[in-house]
Structure 1
Amino acid sequence: MDTILAPIMWLVSYVIYGVHYGLTSLGMDAGSGPAWVLSIVGLTIIVRLIILPLYNKQINATRQTQVLQPEIQKIQKKYKGKKDQVSQQRQQEEMTALYKKHGTSPFASCLPLLVQMPILFSLFRVLYAFPAIAAGERGDLGPINSDVAVEFENSTVFGAPLSASFGAAGETADPLNVRIVAAVLVLFMVVSTFYTQKQLTMKNMPDSAMDPNNPAFKTQKYMLYGMPFIYLFSGAAFQVGVLVYWAAGNIWNIGQQTWFIRNNPTPGSQAYRDREERLRKKRLRKGLTEEEIETLEAEEASRGQRQQPMSKERAKKVGVDKDDPQPVHSPEEPEEDVDPSEVRGKDGLTDAERAKKRYERRQAERARSKAKQEQRNKKAQQNKKKRNF
């Protein structure tokens, strides 16, 4: 494994050494001590900043996948029970076309994890190599020579050496203390992972995607309970230094995810409704009237609704003119292709549709008022000209 991970191990060792050098330059004690612990935290921050664009892609891809769940379920229902090769191929083609149409991919949400796992394994192997480097049984690893490895080996977190682990605590001078520290870090890792998964599943998923029969929702619930359970057992094999890296990463995740869910939530989710309520209260404090607030909400809703292109056959079916893409249904005629999973009131409209309708009604009233005012002004001008003659 070291042969495959050698370039990343070399890079990780240089980052840890570089952060440690920067911390000692700022006045922290050189040699064994907190600077080596903070160098692992620094590695976490650097990695998270590097993968921030991938995290943005992950958020957008996850959101698009959640919004597309009703369409995905329609395709799955269409080919339910059809196990022949032709039907399976057509289902895959329709799925691919749907993802391509909306500019997303089911694998985009895995990008940050795919980047982080090699770094995590490399850090594991680097920490595993420190005792051998300190004892002179292995050559230098980048800037890590025997003197640096000894300093690192003597650095501790609440008395537990960074290279020690729960499973190998018997090899240390104080195995009980190592097990306690490692257990606390593993427990924190489990709880924080559960919290971040619960935030995504219960607070930032649209109501249309939270169907118990939805395969994606089932997968999210399995991950909600399964991932912490896996970490509970696998954490015993990781060194304290790796657990520090993981704990720092989870703290970063909680802060980053909380900010995104608060300021850029998925439309239709509980977080989105909470944000709309906060914006409404903020606008009321600024002195805006209910009518002005509803107008702003309607404009935001209309901007957030992306019009999808239609074929001529579908445009004819739903009653839309291709040259003027506005619905031409009569008021009595029920519209087709209404998504039943959307939350609708007694009038059969969603919050966004209701706000848009109010906005259009006020715009029409203002247009009529403006036309009447222009007509009065025009009439006044004509009367003035007659009097001048």
Structure 2
Amino acid sequence: MGILGDIGHFIMVPLYYVISAVLLAWHWFFGLFLDPEGGLSWALSIIGLTLVIRAALIPLFVKQIKSSRNMQLIQPKVRELQKKYGHDRQKLAEETMKLYKDAGTNPFASCLPILLQMPIFFALFRMISQATKTDTSHGFLTVAKAHEFGDSLIFDRLPIKGTFWMDRVWAPGGGDALVMIVAAVLVLAMTATTFTTQRQLMAKNMPADALSGPYAQQQKMLLYILPVAFGLGGVAFPIGVLLYWTTSNLWTMGQQFYVIRNNPAPGTPAFKAKQDRDKAKAAKHPEKYASYEPVADTAVIEEAERRPAKRQQPSRQSRAQRKSGKPGTGSKPNQGGTK
């Protein structure tokens, strides 16, 4: 099998058991009021599986948001390092990594949830593919259940294993046209949600300073590359897998919308919008928000703190004050005492 095959087997086998356990639990639940052998119960089970997985990844999503926000806020410092050490690439790399470490972030943290989902995605893909082609069972999915899963039809017409490029008529009265239409809709939904999620982040939750430089260029490339990659690859995925990925994207889009709206990064359009909403609430319900003070933009505060403080000039004194020698006036006290 080889070392790569052994590593893949070591990773995939536990995933088969976890995925199949969650999938069968949802299938049992939906089987209480739907046809257990029908495709609808299996399709809803895939959606339920997706929700469980995404809920489990919430801590990683929070970490991703914090890391991405820190990356945005340190972009001006990154550009300063590039100007200072542009002639020395090794020194620039060392200082940049030191800056990332001090800020508690790295440029790859935003990809972590996607990377962690890929093994789950491939495990589900193999479960559906092998269940349909060879009745192969994985994890807690028995051979009988694998056969039932693979051959199930949603609404008695749409095969859960159908793909956009399928070359067989699976259901009476249905056929390839229906499968192609549904698969195309799901692929478009998958690409549209991917694009919208990334665009939402760049348009509303990135400071103006972060919209230029290498990090911004990387984000702009991902804005177009990821939807195209998912769109091209999606035409080969079974409908069951497309259901998983589209549901996952919808979760990501909604989750990110909630975070941007309620906890935006400082110095961004979303932060300004939240300040305006808070002020409007305080004006509309003054008795409820009597002690309300708008949250200051920390980006402005940090900029003010970086500026050198103005030197306090001594106040001018009259001639009589200088002669009196009173404490606190800036002149020496009368050494001779009061006559």
TM range (shorter): 0.7 to 0.9
- TM-superposed deviation, 1:9: 2.2
- TM-superposed deviation, 1:291: 11
- Number of residue equivalences: 301
- TM-superposed deviation, 1:133: 4.5
Partner residue, 1:301: 296
Note the residue ranges of structure 1 that are not aligned, 5 or more in a row.
309-314, 320-326, 333-389
Instruction: Tell me how far apart the structure 2 counterparts of residues 187 and 107 of structure 1 sit (CA, whole Å).
Output: 27
CA contact (8 A) 1:169 1:176 kept: no
SS of corresponding position for 1:301: coil
Change over 3 Å in CA distance of 1:146–1:291 after alignment to 2: closer
Change over 3 Å in CA distance of 1:103–1:199 after alignment to 2: same
After superposition, the C-alpha distances for 1:234-283 in whole angstroms (9 at most, x for unaligned) are: 10111111100011111111211111110011111111111100000001
User: What residue identity is the alignment partner of 1:141?
Assistant: H
Map residues 167-178 of structure 1 onto 2, 5 A cutoff: 167-170=165-168, 172-173=170-171, 174-178=175-179
Note the residue ranges of structure 2 that are not aligned, 5 or more in a row.
314-339
Change over 3 Å in CA distance of 1:329–1:198 after alignment to 2: same
CA contact (8 A) 1:164 1:239 kept: yes
Partner residue, 2:127: 126
Instruction: Tell me how far apart the structure 2 counterparts of residues 307 and 266 of structure 1 sit (CA, whole Å).
Output: 14
- Please say if 1:104 is aligned against 2:85: no
- Deviates further, 246-255 or 46-55: 246-255
Instruction: Tell me how far apart the structure 2 counterparts of residues 217 and 328 of structure 1 sit (CA, whole Å).
Output: 33
User: What residue identity is the alignment partner of 1:51?
Assistant: L
- Please say if 1:149 is aligned against 2:150: no
Change over 3 Å in CA distance of 1:3–1:286 after alignment to 2: same
Instruction: Give the TM-score normalised by structure 2.
Output: 0.80
Partner residue, 2:46: 40
CA-based RMSD: 2.8
Partner residue, 1:197: 198
Change over 3 Å in CA distance of 1:284–1:167 after alignment to 2: same
Map residues 231-310 of structure 1 onto 2, 5 A cutoff: 231-287=230-286, 296-297=293-294, 300-301=295-296
CA contact (8 A) 1:61 1:104 kept: yes
User: What residue identity is the alignment partner of 1:23?
Assistant: F
CA contact (8 A) 1:182 1:240 kept: yes
After superposition, the C-alpha distances for 1:323-353 in whole angstroms (9 at most, x for unaligned) are: xxxx542389xxxxxxxxxxxxxxxxxxxxx
- TM-superposed deviation, 1:292: 6.8
Instruction: Give the TM-score normalised by structure 1.
Output: 0.71
Give the ranges of 4+ consecutive aligned residues of structure 1 lying more than 4 Å apart after TM superposition: 290-293, 302-308
**Please, which of 158, 161, 164 is the counterpart of residue 159 of structure 2?**
161
- TM-superposed deviation, 1:105: 2.1
CA contact (8 A) 2:13 2:139 kept: no
SS of corresponding position for 1:151: helix
**Please, which of 39, 51, 63 is the counterpart of residue 69 of structure 2?**
63
User: What residue identity is the alignment partner of 2:161?
Assistant: S
**Please, which of 50, 54, 57 is the counterpart of residue 56 of structure 2?**
50
- TM-superposed deviation, 1:22: 2.5
Instruction: Tell me how far apart the structure 2 counterparts of residues 302 and 246 of structure 1 sit (CA, whole Å).
Output: 37
- Deviates further, 142-151 or 112-121: 142-151
- Please say if 1:330 is aligned against 2:311: yes
After superposition, the C-alpha distances for 1:184-237 in whole angstroms (9 at most, x for unaligned) are: 1001111111111110011111112123xx121121111112211111211011
CA contact (8 A) 1:263 1:275 kept: yes
Instruction: Tell me how far apart the structure 1 counterparts of residues 65 and 244 of structure 2 sit (CA, whole Å).
Output: 23
- TM-superposed deviation, 1:40: 0.4
After superposition, the C-alpha distances for 1:272-304 in whole angstroms (9 at most, x for unaligned) are: 11110000000111227x9976xx23xx32878
Partner residue, 2:319: none
CA contact (8 A) 2:267 2:297 kept: no
Partner residue, 2:333: none
Partner residue, 1:12: 19
